[in-house]
């Protein structure tokens, strides 16, 4: 049977202080994705190999890894793409590694939380008044940004994240925009104060790789640029009409 070699970066802190690559030969099957090959290793070759995955359907975002130095979802990246190999697999760049291919997500989740990705309303209407209705056009305004699955690929593709660990990052901004453009939301002023500071949108130099690697076509680079336009408008409002500035 035809086989392909996977060179997997291992990090076993209880055994070795430095990571190292370990080669595994797995049978090639045309329908297999990278995650299938990792599961084969885990089940049949080396049960100590550690990595994250859940849905295997490109929805949960947990199986992101570096494959030949590119951040991808391993559940939708076919082995066939990288033949004849070897295929080099490593944890996502710019994240602290816990073990093997598993990275610490605390910093990422903290940055997303800073963006306040939830509906903020100035005043809740009584339940008796019914739903908060939206037109199809109002939904279209933010739907693209709502497709983010928090896979963190955009952070591993962003050189600014690597250079400036305090940068809030592309996914956080895209998720903020998902709510800023929601007709039911009143929280854009609160988000502006957070995302327009020194570690926010102006740290972005528009390399654009975040949008290239996004598996859901969210276009975080576009979200950041739209936010910069909003920032310019808000600045002029604060100068010309300070009484109308967001509180």
Residue 150 confidence (pLDDT)? 96
The 10s digit of each residue's pLDDT in 71-121 is 999 999 999 999 898 999 999 999 999 999 999 999 999 999 999 999 999
Q: Structure pTM?
A: 0.89
Burial class (CB in 10 A: 0-12, 13-18, 19+), 118: exposed
Q: What is the pLDDT of residue 243?
A: 65
Q: Are residues 116 and 66 in the same domain?
A: no
Burial of 141 (0-12, 13-18, 19+ CB in 10 A): middle
Q: Do 240 and 135 share a structural domain?
A: yes
Spell out the per-residue pLDDT of the chain, length 247, in tens: 588 999 999 999 998 889 999 999 999 999 999 999 999 999 999 999 999 999 999 999 999 999 999 999 999 999 999 989 899 999 999 999 999 999 999 999 999 999 999 999 988 888 888 888 999 999 999 999 999 999 999 999 999 999 999 999 999 999 999 999 999 999 998 998 888 888 888 899 989 999 999 999 999 999 999 988 887 777 656 666 666 655 4
Number of domains in the chain: 2
Q: What CA–CA distance (Å, rounded) separates 70 from 67?
A: 5
- Residue that terminates a domain, selected from 34, 69, 103: 103
Identify whether residues 178 and 57 lie together within a single domain. no
Per-residue pLDDT tens digits for 138-157: 999 999 999 999 999 999 99
The maximal CA–CA distance of the chain, rounded, in angstroms, is 73
pLDDT at position 235, please?
61
Contacts 24+ apart (CB under 8 A), 26-32: 27/1, 27/2, 27/3, 28/1, 28/2, 28/3, 28/4, 28/79, 28/80, 28/83, 29/79, 30/80, 32/78, 32/79
Same domain, 116 and 80: no
Q: What is the C-alpha to C-alpha distance for residues 104 and 20, in angstroms, rounded to an integer?
A: 19
Same-domain status, 37 and 142? no
Among candidate residues 87, 103, 119, the one where a domain is terminated: 103
The residue from 103, 130, 155 where one domain ends is: 103
What's the pLDDT score for residue 135?
94
Q: What does the pLDDT read at residue 78?
A: 95
Residues 71 and 43 in one domain: yes
Q: Tell me which residue of 15, 13, 39 sits closest to 26, measured CA to CA.
A: 39
Range of the domain at 79: 3-103
Q: Do the bridges between strand 3-10 and strand 87-90 make them parallel or antiparallel, or are there none, so unpaired?
A: parallel
Q: What is the CATH number of the domain that holds 52?
A: 3.10.20.30
């Amino acid at each position: 049977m035809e086989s392909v070699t996977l060179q997997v970066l291992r990090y076993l802190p209880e055994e070795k202080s430095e990571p190292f690559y370990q080669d595994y030969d797995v049978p090639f099957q045309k329908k297999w994705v990278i995650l299938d090959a990792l599961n084969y290793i885990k089940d049949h070759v080396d049960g100590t190999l550690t990595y994250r995955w859940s849905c295997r359907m490109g929805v949960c975002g947990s199986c992101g890894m570096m494959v030949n130095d590119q951040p991808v979802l391993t559940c939708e990246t076919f082995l066939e793409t990288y033949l004849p190999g070897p295929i080099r697999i490593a944890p996502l760049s710019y994240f602290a590694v816990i073990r093997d291919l598993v990275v610490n997500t605390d910093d990422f989740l903290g940055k997303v939380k800073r963006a306040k990705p939830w509906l903020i309303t100035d005043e809740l209407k009584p339940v008796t008044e019914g739903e908060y209705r939206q037109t199809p056009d109002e939904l279209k305004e933010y739907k693209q940004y709502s497709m983010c699955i928090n896979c963190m690929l955009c952070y591993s593709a962003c050189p600014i994240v690597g250079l400036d660990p305090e940068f809030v990052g592309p996914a956080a901004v895209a998720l903020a925009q998902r709510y800023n453009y929601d007709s039911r939301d009143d929280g854009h002023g609160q988000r502006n104060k957070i995302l327009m500071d020194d570690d926010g949108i102006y740290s972005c130099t528009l390399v654009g790789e975040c949008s290239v690697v996004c598996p859901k076509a969210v276009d975080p680079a576009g979200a950041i640029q739209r936010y910069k336009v909003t920032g310019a408008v808000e600045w002029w409002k604060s100068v010309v009409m300070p009484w109308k500035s967001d509180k």
